[in-house]
Structure 1
Amino acid sequence: MKVELVTTLKRQATKTLADLHTSKEPVLITEHGQPSAYLIDVDDFEMMQKRMAILEGIARGEKAIKEGQVLSNESAKEQMKKWLK
C-alpha cells in the first residue's frame, strides 16, 4: 500500500489520483506521522459497500437463527405468496 503525507496530497493531488486510477492501489494519507484516511478507487469502494451489505445481511440472518426467529419452509412459502400477489 502506498503511503502519502497530507501535504504531498495537497501539492500533487492530480498525480496521486492518476497513480491511484492506474494502479488501483489504495493510498494511506498520514497527518503528523499518524494514519488519517484512505484514498481508494471509486469502483473498489462501491464493491466494498456491496460486500458489506451482503455480510450485514448474513449477520442479521445468523442473529435471527440464534434468537429462534425462523420459519418452516411451508410458512415461508405462504408468506411469500401474500407478498407476490
Structure 2
Amino acid sequence: MRTELVTTLKRQATELLSDLGRDKEPILITQHGLPSAYLVDVETFEQLQQRMKLLEGIARGERAIDDGRVVSHADAKERMKRWLK
C-alpha cells in the first residue's frame, strides 16, 4: 500500500486521485508521521460498504441464535408464505 504525506495530498490531489482511479490501490495519508486517513476510489468504498452490511447481517443472525431467537423450518416457511403474498 502506498503512503503519502498530507502535504502531498494538498499539493498533488488531482494526481493522487488520478493514480487512485487507475491503480485502485488505497493510499494511506499520514500527518505528523502518524496514519490519518485512507484514500480509496469510489468503487472500492462501495464494495466495502456492501461487505460491511453483509457481515453485520451475519453478526445479527449469530446473536439471534445465541439468544435463542430461532424458529423451526416449518414456522419460517409459513412466515415466508405470508410475506410473499
Q: What TM-score results when the alignment is normalised by the length of structure 1?
A: 0.95
Runs of 4+ in 1 over 6 A off after TM superposition: none
Does 2:50 correspond to 1:54?
no
**How does 1:25-40 map onto structure 2 within 5 Å?**
25-40=25-40
Q: Which runs of 5+ in 1 are unaligned?
A: none
CA displacement, residues 13-61 of structure 1 (integer Å, 9 cap, x when unaligned): 0001111111111000111111100000110010011111111111111
Q: CA deviation at 1:12?
A: 0.3
Q: What TM-score results when the alignment is normalised by the length of structure 2?
A: 0.95
* SS at 1:25 equivalent: coil
Identity %: 66
Does 2:69 correspond to 1:69?
yes
Aligned length: 85
* SS at 1:38 equivalent: strand
Q: Over aligned residues, Cα RMSD in angstroms?
A: 0.8
